[in-house]
Amino acid sequence: MCGIIGYVGDKDAVPVIIDGLKKLEYRGYDSAGIAVYGKNGFDIVKQKGRLVVLEERLSSLMRENKPLSGHLGIGHTRWATHGEPSDINSHPHTGSKNRIAVVHNGIIENYKQIKERLENRGVTFVSQTDSEVIAQLAEHYYSGDIIDTVIKVSNALEGSYALGVMCIDEPDLLVAIKKDNPLIIGKSNHGNFIASDVPAVLKHTNQVYYLNDREVAVLHEKDIQFFNTDREPLQKKAETITWSMDSAEKDGYPHFMLKEIMEQPKVLRDTIQSAVTDGENRKVLDNIDIIRFDKIMITACGSAYNAGVVAKYVFEKLCRISVEVELASEFRYKDAVINEKTLVILVSQSGETADTIAAMREAKSKSAPTLAIVNVVGSAIAKEADYCIFTAAGPEIAVATTKAFSAQLILLYILAIRFARRLGKIQPEEEQKQIEEIKSLPDKVSEILDRIGSIQMYASTCIGYKSIFFIGRNIDYAIALEGSLKLKEISYIHSEAYAGGELKHGTISLVEENTLVVALSNYYYLYNKIMSNAEQVISRGAKVLLIGNCPKVDQESGKFYHIVLPQVSEIFSPSLSVIALQLFSYYVAANKGLDIDKPRNLAKSVTVE
């Protein structure tokens, strides 16, 4: 879950690397470091804390007339797994002889064995990290050929890694290799890059190579070579990134999260376009023969899992096919009952979430065809799944997902409608009607965004709550899960989501004065039931925020506040509810003055178990 970058070129590597790290900070932000090949060999600065702490240190070195500078360098932003966040545990790591410097994203599972072996040979380790073994082992193997050394190290490592490596005998050379963690190679007119993700290099180039597992990249200022681990040359084709730098900038918004919330109408339009007209997604959808399947299994993590829970209601309603939703971290170990007649749908913004990748491989090992819904082109899941359709969300920087989640929902709806038609559960006219309604969603989302001020005002009154519960019934319950997750991850207010009918089976005992209950209500036939849940909590001292397109309630008493949503069919209502829920969470967190884009302890791309 860390971010790595490397550069070799004619520019000073320091500002290039620091700027790239800023774009990768979403991957982890408890410490950061940089190594450049300076006049006298490696110059390394690494600091616990946000990237800004590292920047301050670099500025003070500059003031002391000891600036870091060089044309080859590597950088790292960390989300600690082994060893607490500290200066010493930060990357880059070097071997004891200071001959090889390494940045690493991933987890080395056999690091203890390697460490013990090297310690027995007299090597002294200075950090508590698993990553240091990579640098120490590389120095142990090194006998003049750094490319062979990297291959040998890779052969010895178990676990996941994306590595950037510099060697003291090679002032113009950067070597990279990866396994189960992402790494792209960027080619620009002033030099070449390695990076965990495209935004880190986008300012310099839109030409990138996606490195596959155990491929070695060897970068000089003017050329890039690829090898397999037998050191045979590989031919790879650069891909052109079509999105622009703007997507990776805040564009005047105080946070990426708000910018990304506001982008949703466009993201939805683009995603719908690609799936219902003649876009690439449409072609993939047309190739999936749903009639072969008697069950759908959706598996994912975090918000992507919540999108799956919504989808279960939609698929079951429209397709009358049995759907299970499993957290990928559970699915991978549960010996799921699936076979070639089960379609396994994987949902993932990054396409790199370790548990979701493992779930995909588990499904494949049981002969179940896999369909992925992914945002990041070139990601592991996108490459390995049997079928893949892409959300057109562009890069999502805020750790808490918003636009990618909304795009996932849209693709899941379209999938359900297409499958329902193919299964003969709906007629062509009904299919067309549903698609037209999907097409109307972006405008309805805009309507809610136009009323941002009232949600902001209400949210500003909610920062004092110790607990906020979310309730809903049916699909409103599914989207309540996402509302609750969004709130807790960025505002640090305790929150749970419950099916309205479950409230009385335990949770209501937690309801007291100074509790807020957010009730979702988009079902006319369940309106009275959710309202009676609301009355039950109000009579125990709670306040209720009602979100939905159900009849407007009387707000005079001050016990209710109602965010009224545009009218839409019940099954598509999550696409509108979620906008109000995102804005509510965002403004609660903003009013608390929190670091919304980088909530504590979290990272966007969870590439470790």
Least distance (Å) from ligand G6P to the CB of residue 497? Answer: 15
Cα 221 to Cα 219: distance, rounded to the nearest angstrom = 7
Least distance (Å) from ligand G6P to the CB of residue 4? Answer: 18
Q: Please, which of residues 390-449 interact with ligand G6P by CB under 6 A?
A: 399-401
SS3 of 38, please?
strand
Question: Per-residue x/- marks for ligand G6P, 78-107, CB under 6 A?
Answer: ------------------------------
Question: What's the Rg (C-alpha) of the chain?
Answer: 25
What the block records as the tokens of 593 is: 């003055």
Least distance (Å) from ligand G6P to the CB of residue 353? Answer: 3
What the block records as the tokens of 467 is: 């607990």
Closest to ligand G6P by CB, 174 vs 301, is 301
Work out whether 303 is an interface residue with ligand G6P (CB under 6 A): yes
Work out whether 589 is an interface residue with ligand G6P (CB under 6 A): no
Among 201, 284, 301, 588, binds ligand G6P (CB under 6 A): 301
Cα 545 to Cα 331: distance, rounded to the nearest angstrom = 35
Among 141, 606, 607, 608, binds ligand G6P (CB under 6 A): 606
Closest to ligand G6P by CB, 149 vs 356, is 356
What does DSSP say about strands 72-78 and 31-38: parallel, antiparallel, or unpaired?
antiparallel
Question: Per-residue x/- marks for ligand G6P, 347-386, CB under 6 A?
Answer: -xxx--x--x------------------------------
Least distance (Å) from ligand G6P to the CB of residue 609? Answer: 13
- For residues 480 and 470, the answer to whether their CB atoms sit within 8 Å is yes
Closest to ligand G6P by CB, 303 vs 484, is 303
Q: Please, which of residues 229-268 interact with ligand G6P by CB under 6 A?
A: none
Cα 26 to Cα 602: distance, rounded to the nearest angstrom = 9
Closest to ligand G6P by CB, 328 vs 426, is 328
Cα 304 to Cα 417: distance, rounded to the nearest angstrom = 20
Asked about 2 being catalytic, the answer comes back as: yes
Q: Half-sphere exposure (CA, 13 Å, Cβ side) for 543?
A: 21
Cα 310 to Cα 447: distance, rounded to the nearest angstrom = 22
* Order of all β-strands in the sheet with 543-548: 494-499, 467-472, 515-520, 543-548, 560-564
Closest to ligand G6P by CB, 79 vs 587, is 79
Least distance (Å) from ligand G6P to the CB of residue 604? Answer: 5
Asked about 604 being catalytic, the answer comes back as: yes
- For residues 35 and 101, the answer to whether their CB atoms sit within 8 Å is yes
Among 302, 369, 394, 395, binds ligand G6P (CB under 6 A): 302
SS3 of 375, please?
coil
Closest to ligand G6P by CB, 132 vs 482, is 482
Cα 151 to Cα 130: distance, rounded to the nearest angstrom = 18
- For residues 146 and 173, the answer to whether their CB atoms sit within 8 Å is yes
Any idea which residues carry the catalytic annotation? 2, 604
Q: Which residues bind ligand G6P (CB under 6 A)?
A: 301-304, 348-350, 353, 356, 399-401, 602, 604-606
